[in-house]
Amino acid sequence: MTRFPPWTSIAPVLALGVLALGWGRDLPAWAALLSVVVLAAAVIAAVHHAEVVAHRVGEPLGSLVLAVAVTVIEVGLILAVMAGGGPGSDTLARDTVFAALMITLNGIVGISIVVATLRNRSVSFNAEGAGSALAAVTTLAVLSLVLPTVTISAPGPTFTPAQLAFSAVTALALWILFVVVQTVRNKELFVDGPVEGRDVATERDNHDELPTLRETRVSFALLVVALLAVVGLAKVLSPTVERTVIEADLPLSFVGVVIALLVLLPEAVSAVRSARRDQIQKSLNLAYGSAMASIGLTIPCIAIASIWLDSSVALGLSAAEIVLLGLSVAVGILTVTPGRATLLQGGVHLAIFFGFLVISVSP
C-alpha cells in the first residue's frame, strides 16, 4: 500500500528548488506570492511525514521529532539574521522566542482544546505530565527572559557574560532532563488519557498499521527537506516581511512574531489534527515540547553566537510582555491541574493569544 500521496513527496523538493532560485534575491510580488504558496504546501507535507515518523516510533517520542527539528532550524534562521546585522538584530532572538512561547502556550493549546471539545463536552489528559512540562517551560522562561530585565549588573535588558553563560547552561541542561523524563524515565505521563464515552487507545491501535522501516526513513528524509525549505523560504521572504512591517508602521519586533508563526505552522497543524482525533495529550506534548525546545536550544546557541559575533543580545522582556507571560502561566496552571479541559479553557487561551497579537502590533 502506498502511504505517501504523490504531492507530499513532490512538495518538499519543489519548495527546495524555489528556495534555491530565490536565495539572495529581492523577490518581486509574483515571486513572493509563489513562495508563500509553495511554503504552505511544504508545511502540510512536513506535518504528514512527521506523523508517519511519530506513528512508527510512538508517543511521546514522536511528538519530539517535529518539535526538535523545527526548533533546530529556527535557531539557524535566527543566527543567520543576527550575523547579517541590521536594525532589530540584537532583539530578534528575544522577540522570536517570546512569540514562540505565546504561540505554543496559548495559540496551539487553545485551538487544540477548542477543536477537541467541539466534538466532546470535555477532554482528558495526564495532568502530571502536562503540569511538569509547564513547570519546566515557566522556569526556563523566567531564567532566560525575565531576569535580564530586573538584574542590574549590566545596563539595559541584558545579561553579563557570566549570567548569560549560567542561563545557557541551565536552559540546555533542563531541556535535556525534560527529554529524558518524557521519553525514558516517566514516559507514561505523556500518553493520551481517556476521552469521555470513547476508547481512544483502541481507536488509535486500529487506526493504521505501522509504517515500514523504509517508509519511515523516507518520511524522515522528506521531513528534513520540507523543514529546511520552510525555514529557508521564511528567510527569503524576511526582507519582504520587513519592508511590509516598516511600510505598515509596525514595530520591528513584529518581524520576530512573523518568523515564529511561519516556523511553528507545521507544529500547529499537527497539533490540531491530533486534537481532531481526540489525541489531546499529543497536542499538549507538541505545544509544551516546542516551547521547551525553543528556549532550551535557542538560548545556548544565542550565547555562543554573541561571543562569536562579539555583540550584545537583549533578552529581557518589556513590562507588558512579562504581564502576558505571567497570565499565560497562571491560566496554563488552571488548565492542566484538573487533567480535564472544556471549551471555556480553550477560549481563554485564545483570548490571551489574540491579546499578544494586538500588543505586538500596537505596543
Which pLDDT value is given to residue 142? Answer: 94
Q: What angle do CA 99, 101, 105 make, to 5 degrees?
A: 125
Which pLDDT value is given to residue 61? Answer: 66
Which pLDDT value is given to residue 210? Answer: 77
Which pLDDT value is given to residue 202? Answer: 43
Q: Is the pLDDT of residue 332 over 80?
A: yes
Question: What is the mean predicted confidence (pLDDT) over 125-151?
Answer: 92
Which pLDDT value is given to residue 358? Answer: 93
Give the CA distances from residue 202 to residues 34, 195, 198, 210, in Å, rounded to whole numbers and listed in that order: 42, 11, 9, 14
Which pLDDT value is given to residue 164? Answer: 87
Bridge partners of 123, per DSSP, are: 341
Q: How far is CA 248 from the centre of its chain?
A: 26
Q: Is the pLDDT of residue 204 over 50?
A: no
Whether 227 contacts 266, CB under 8 Å = yes
Q: Is 256 or 98 the better-scoring residue by pLDDT? A: 98
Q: What is the pLDDT of residues 36-76, one digit of tens each?
A: 888 888 877 877 787 788 777 766 666 677 667 767 666 76
Which pLDDT value is given to residue 347? Answer: 96
**Residue 2 CB neighbours (<10 A):** 6
Model confidence at 198, pLDDT cuts 50, 70, 90, reads: very low
Q: What is the pLDDT of residues 250-278, one digit of tens each?
A: 887 787 888 788 778 878 888 898 899 88
As a whole number of angstroms, the distance between CA 328 and CA 349 comes to 8
Across the chain, what does the average pLDDT equal?
Answer: 82
Model confidence at 346, pLDDT cuts 50, 70, 90, reads: very high
Model confidence at 35, pLDDT cuts 50, 70, 90, reads: confident
As a whole number of angstroms, the distance between CA 174 and CA 172 comes to 6
Closest CA to 312 of 153, 82, 25: 82
Q: Grid cell 509563489 — which residue?
A: 34
Q: What is the pLDDT of residues 229-256, one digit of tens each?
A: 877 887 787 777 777 777 778 887 787 8
Which pLDDT value is given to residue 208? Answer: 53
As a whole number of angstroms, the distance between CA 349 and CA 327 comes to 10
Kindly report the backbone phi and psi dihedral angles of residue 131, in degrees, each rounded to the nearest multiple of 5, phi listed first.
-65, -40
Cell of 194: 481517556
Which pLDDT value is given to residue 205? Answer: 43
Which pLDDT value is given to residue 349? Answer: 97
Q: Is 232 or 194 the better-scoring residue by pLDDT? A: 232
Which pLDDT value is given to residue 81? Answer: 65
Which pLDDT value is given to residue 87? Answer: 58
List the single range of 72-81, 128-137, 175-184, 291-300 with lowest mean pLDDT: 72-81
